[in-house]
Amino acid sequence: MKKTGAKSAVDSCSVDERTGTRELISLAFAVEQSLALASPVNISELVGLENAIGRVLAEDLVAPFPLPPFDNSAMDGYWPTSGSRILGQC
C-alpha cells in the first residue's frame, strides 16, 4: 500500500471526489441520529402495484405457502474462494 497519510487502507481507497477526513462515530450516536431522522407511518392507503414504488407496507405481507416449495439450502449463502478475488489498486 502506498503511504498516503490515510488512517487505514479503506481510507485511502476512494471512488468519489470527497475531500477531507471522515471521523468515525460511535454506534450509540449513529443509532441516536438514525432514530431522530425516522418517523412512524401513521396513515395508510391502498394503491396499485404500479404506484407502490418508493412506499413501505403498512403491515407484514406473508406468503400463503413456502417459496420455493422445497428446501433450498444449497442457495442460502456462498463463500468466495481465494481464486475469485478481484485485485485492484488503492
∠ CA 26-31-37, rounded to 5°: 130
3 state SS of 73 = helix
Length of the chain: 90
pLDDT at 56: 86
The neighbour count for residue 22, using CB atoms within 10 Å, is: 8
The residues, ordered by sequence, that sit 6+ positions from 41 with a Cβ below 8 Å of its Cβ are: 56, 58
Cβ atoms 45, 30 nearer than 8 A = no
Q: State pLDDT tens for residues 37-85.
A: 988 878 899 999 999 998 888 889 888 888 778 777 665 666 667 666 6
